[in-house]
Every structure is written in C-alpha cells, then in structure tokens.
Amino acid sequence: MKGTALLIKEDHSVTVLENVEHEVYEKLVGQEDSQDIQCTIDDKEVHFEPVSKVVWYEDKIDWEYGY
C-alpha cells in the first residue's frame, strides 16, 4: 500500500514523501528522534535531518486545497 509520509521536525517544518510504501514509513517511525534518519526510495538511499514525529497519510495530499 502506498501513501504519504510526513516527517515533522522540532521547529515544526515538514518534509513530505509522497507515493511511498508503508514499509518505508514503518522504517522511518523506528528512527524517530535519531540523529541520522535514512531510508531507501526508488532504489536510492536517502538521508534526512532528525525528526520528532513521522505521520502516515493513506492517500495523496490535495495540494490544490491551499495549504
């Protein structure tokens, strides 16, 4: 199942990962509060800055809504 993962930092900024497998989300959740967050997306290893929370959204986000 694919969806959208939201990586929320301490300063409330958000990184959005769209169209990712739920397994990627589960790996990211296991790394919350870590200094080096990493996952594999489309056969590429990706690194992120530390996050305080990872949230799953089962569908795509409607960006036309006006966030």
Q: Which domain holds residue 59?
A: 2-65
Query: What does pTM read for this prediction?
Result: 0.84
Q: Specify the DSSP element, H or E, that contains 51.
A: none
- pLDDT of 3-56, one tens digit each? 999 999 999 999 999 999 999 999 999 998 888 899 999 899 999 999 999 999
For residue 34, what are its two tokens?
A: 């870590």
Domain count, the chain: 1
Residue 1's nearest CA partner among 67, 63, 59 is 59
- Whether 5 and 56 have beta carbons less than 8 Å apart is answered as yes
